[in-house]
């Protein structure tokens, strides 16, 4: 722990704990007497029947415009202080089930808000975590099942027949089992053979690692096993697309592979690949030796790769050069042939095409590595990756071995119910068609309108914060304001999802066979690659419906390249949003998420892009330096958090973007709610919860992140993830906000009100 992050912890911060037993008893008697007198006064007041007006606690001068101003309840004088509608009763019940009121909120607000959730939640065998997102996702899966399981009718247009046929292909376990390994063995032969299976009959003279990439693309497999290839919006000219080349996509995270075979997960990965080869027919002794060689090659790829901590500077990853220049820098690879063999025939390039290379040192190292590695090792590596990518779509013998490896990674010991797995696969591969089915049947349009209102409320608060920060120079501040105001918003779904003709045009060239599961999956993958790579010459439309046409997902997004935020229909329900509960619950939940996504535009990576989504330096040097100092405070704060069960420190560098977004997002949502109250009225409390609306806002925000983890999942998230664990997404932001401490009367120096606080926005 650095000196700047040390906190003075008061063991017993509340006056109650410091009193003797006799003093507490006297206090209780006095409190009871006071309550009786108060109750009589209230009854008398009601009897007198004078019009009653509730007031909002004083707003900050910067928000209210008038120091000490109070705002009364509007409309009607006979509303109760307690909301007893079904929506409020259900909400209160849910909150009470999760919270632990025996915990002092100023000591650990996460345990206070989520203690019973963590204690009582049983993680199903097929899951690695349970939280608000997974609970809503379970509901979403059930909703999708009702429409996807429906029989195919004559009225079904092609996009919906594709969905139902792929689901049926996935669900037909009897047919999948009867085919056994045959689909994969046929594919491996077509791709040139897996040396481990072919033994001495494998012909090294027919193998070329570049040709293997082209063959994979033609078949529907990834082209990223040696180096990542993509066509995406150009970071410095966001109206056009460019070819991007990056370090390899690996079978296991770089963070593990670089540790070698002594790392438990690397050893588990090694044994898994060996067993897959043996199941498919390989000799175990041969597989044991040759797979070790191929994983050592993969380790070398990992060591050539940049660690995540060094990939947060986007400018560092933007190295533009023509194909001709690439040929001079990296002469052993015929680049023009390489690119044109991956691109569709109607999109071909010449030597003047500009390629954006993320990590030139990786490409240089790859040249040397493939030159000195035997072809047999290279072939074993890529064919093992192909086999690994196929296992999920084959029979139970292979899938059960995959589950064992998954258990080592995440802790889950069972697979999802087959129908859930199939819903996930179909939703991932045919997300636009599935999204269209979902919004037509389940989405409530009022959620779209209310979510948009909240977005605008919260955006105004971010703008207000930006206008009042004292560490930004005026020039940088003005550009920041322009970016915040220009941020595009995509709520729920685009209208085109309801247009059958547009859907048919999009899926025109895709075919799915309900009797050929693996082959159909590869068709879907190939369709997606051809669509993505084929857009190289098309100008970017930042509001394009296809890009934003995936509503059946419980998540939210910020795109720096579009300067846009997106809230799909799937997240506008459940614990995140409900129009039948008080707004303090919605502002604390989906409002927190909205603020989080807005703030991403100004986190350590988002701030590198301007209002048009271009990678441009728009920060004045002194202001940039101050920003980085503030971000450093966040890095150190979270880097000094330790997860008790694993003993691991959070990675403050890799999680800084999400942590900055959390800290800004909760602040914006809180003040947006106060301003809503100013315009409207103080909302009633929930039954059984003696907490004010402001306190309930914090409760709602905290319970958004109530999470029960398996220890393996915790380790993996801390080691490789960009999000902090749920408890720190509560403890970090709330302990940095003086407003939280004021609402709960937390003494200065208590754990939730440390003397030293971090604040970027």
User: How far, in Å, CA of 110 to CA of 534, rounded?
Assistant: 48
Closest CA to 494 of 549, 419, 442, 534: 549
pLDDT confidence of 25, banded at 50, 70, 90? very low
pLDDT confidence of 296, banded at 50, 70, 90? very high
Q: Which of 298, 519, 604, 662 is catalytic?
A: 662
The conformation of residue 689, written as its DSSP 8-state character, comes to -
Closest CA to 569 of 657, 446, 408, 477: 446
SS3 356: strand
Domain boundaries, the chain: 181-393
CA 174 from centre of chain: 35
Q: pLDDT above 70 covers what percent of the chain? A: 89
Task: Express each pLDDT in 213-271 by its tens digit.
Answer: 999 999 999 999 999 999 999 999 999 999 999 999 999 999 999 999 999 999 999 99
SS3 649: strand
Task: Express each pLDDT in 588-638 by its tens digit.
Answer: 999 999 999 999 999 999 999 999 999 999 999 999 999 999 999 999 999
User: How far, in Å, CA of 735 to CA of 106, rounded?
Assistant: 9
- Superfamily of domain 181-393 in CATH is Neutral endopeptidase , domain2 (1.10.1380.10)
Q: How large is the average pLDDT for residues 321-331?
A: 97
SS3 674: helix
Q: What share of the chain is helix, strand, coil (3-state, %, to 5)?
A: 55, 5, 35
Bridge partner list, 233: 241
Closest CA to 525 of 390, 391, 422, 435: 390
Q: Contact at 8 Å (CB) between 730 and 113? A: yes
Catalytic residue status for 597: yes
pLDDT confidence of 54, banded at 50, 70, 90? very low
User: Please, what is the average pLDDT of the chain?
Assistant: 90
pLDDT of residue 9: 29
User: How far, in Å, CA of 305 to CA of 105, rounded?
Assistant: 44
pLDDT of residue 721: 94
Could you tell me the pTM of the whole model? 0.86
Q: Which of 275, 298, 457, 597 is catalytic?
A: 597
> Residue 93 pLDDT > 70, yes or no?
yes
Question: The tokens 């306190």 sit on which residue?
Answer: 695
475 Ramachandran zone, left/alpha/beta (phi>0; psi -120 to 50): alpha
Residue 40 tokens, joined: 């009589």
> Residue 26 pLDDT > 70, yes or no?
no
Task: Express each pLDDT in 76-87 by its tens digit.
Answer: 333 469 999 999
Report CA dihedral (62, 489, 232, 620) to the nearest 10 degrees. Answer: -20
pLDDT of residue 44: 31
User: How far, in Å, CA of 332 to CA of 355, rounded?
Assistant: 17
> Residue 13 pLDDT > 90, yes or no?
no
Closest CA to 91 of 713, 565, 661, 687: 687
Element (H, E) at 531: helix 517-533
> Residue 65 pLDDT > 70, yes or no?
no
Q: Which of 6-15, 139-148, 173-182, 444-453 has the lowest mean pLDDT?
A: 6-15
Task: Express each pLDDT in 487-507 by its tens digit.
Answer: 999 999 999 999 999 999 999
């Amino acid at each position: 722990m650095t000196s700047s992050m040390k906190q003075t912890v008061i063991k017993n911060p509340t006056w109650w704990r410091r009193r003797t037993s006799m003093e507490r008893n006297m206090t209780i008697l006095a409190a009871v007497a006071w309550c009786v007198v108060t109750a009589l006064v209230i009854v008398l007041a009601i009897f007198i029947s004078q019009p009653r007006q509730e007031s909002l606690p004083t707003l900050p001068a910067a928000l209210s415009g008038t120091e000490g101003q109070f705002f009364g309840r509007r409309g009607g004088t006979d509303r109760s202080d307690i909301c007893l509608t079904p929506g409020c009763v259900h909400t209160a019940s849910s909150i009470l089930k999760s919270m632990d009121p025996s915990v002092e909120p100023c000591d650990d607000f996460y345990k206070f808000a989520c203690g019973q959730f963590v204690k009582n939640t049983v993680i199903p065998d097929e899951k690695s975590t349970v939280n608000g997102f997974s609970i809503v996702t379970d509901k979403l899966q059930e909703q999708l099942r009702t429409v996807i399981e429906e029989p195919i009718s004559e009225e079904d247009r092609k996009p919906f027949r594709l969905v139902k046929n792929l689901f049926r292909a996935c669900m037909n376990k009897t047919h999948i089992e009867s085919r056994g390994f045959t689909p994969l063995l046929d594919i491996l032969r077509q791709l040139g053979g897996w040396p481990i299976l072919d033994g001495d009959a494998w012909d090294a003279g027919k193998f070329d690692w570049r040709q293997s990439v082209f063959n994979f693309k033609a078949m529907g497999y990834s082209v990223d096993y040696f180096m990542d290839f993509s066509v995406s919006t150009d970071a410095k000219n966001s109206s056009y697309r460019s070819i991007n080349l990056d370090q390899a996509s690996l079978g296991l995270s770089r963070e593990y592979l670089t540790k070698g075979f002594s790392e438990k997960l690397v050893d588990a990965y090694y044994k898994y690949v060996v067993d897959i080869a043996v199941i498919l027919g390989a000799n175990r002794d041969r597989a044991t030796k040759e797979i070790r060689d191929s994983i050592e090659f993969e380790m070398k790829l990992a060591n050539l790769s940049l660690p995540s901590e060094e990939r947060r500077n986007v400018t560092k990853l933007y190295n533009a050069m023509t194909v001709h220049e690439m040929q001079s820098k990296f002469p052993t690879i015929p680049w023009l042939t390489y690119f044109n063999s991956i691109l569709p025939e109607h999109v071909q390039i010449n030597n003047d095409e500009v390629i954006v290379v993320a990590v030139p040192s990786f490409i240089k190292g790859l040249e040397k590595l493939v030159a000195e590695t035997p072809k047999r090792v290279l072939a074993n590596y890529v064919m093992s990756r192909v086999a690994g990518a196929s296992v999920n779509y084959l029979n139970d013998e292979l899938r059960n071995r995959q589950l064992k490896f998954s258990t080592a990674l995440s802790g889950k010991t069972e697979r999802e119910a087959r129908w859930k797995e199939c819903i996930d696969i179909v939703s991932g591969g045919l997300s636009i068609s599935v999204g269209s089915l979902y919004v037509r049947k389940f989405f409530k349009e009022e959620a779209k309108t209310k979510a948009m209102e909240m977005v605008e409320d919260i955006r105004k608060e971010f703008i207000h914060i930006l206008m009042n920060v004292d560490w930004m120079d005026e020039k940088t501040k003005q550009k920041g304001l322009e970016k915040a105001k220009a941020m595009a918003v995509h709520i729920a779904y685009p209208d085109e999802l309801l247009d059958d003709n547009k859907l048919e045009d999009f899926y025109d060239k895709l075919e799915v066979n309900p009797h050929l599961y693996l082959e159909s999956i590869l068709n879907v993958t190939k369709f997606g690659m051809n669509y993505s790579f084929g857009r190289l010459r098309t100008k970017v439309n930042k509001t394009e419906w296809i890009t934003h046409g995936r509503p059946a997902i419980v998540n939210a997004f910020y795109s720096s390249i579009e300067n846009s935020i997106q809230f799909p229909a799937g997240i506008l329900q459940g614990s995140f949003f409900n129009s039948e509960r008080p707004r303090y619950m919605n502002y604390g939940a989906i409002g927190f998420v909205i603020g989080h996504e807005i703030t991403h535009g100004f986190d350590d990576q988002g701030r590198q892009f301007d209002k048009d989504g271009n990678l441009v330096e728009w920060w004045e040097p002194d202001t940039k330096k101050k920003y980085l100092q503030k971000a450093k405070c966040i890095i150190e704060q979270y880097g000094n958090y330790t997860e008790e069960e694993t003993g691991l420190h959070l990675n403050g560098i890799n999680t800084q973007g999400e942590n900055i977004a959390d800290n800004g997002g909760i602040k914006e949502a809180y003040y947006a709610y106060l301003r809503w109250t100013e315009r409207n009225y103080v909302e009633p409390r929930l039954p059984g919860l003696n907490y004010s609306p402001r306190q309930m806002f914090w409760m709602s925000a905290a319970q958004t992140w109530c999470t029960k983890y398996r220890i393996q999942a915790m380790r993996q998230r801390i080691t490789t993830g960009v999000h902090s664990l749920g408890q720190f997404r509560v403890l970090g932001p709330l302990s940095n906000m003086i407003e939280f401490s004021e609402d709960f009367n937390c003494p200065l120096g208590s754990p939730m009100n440390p003397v030293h606080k971090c604040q970027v926005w």
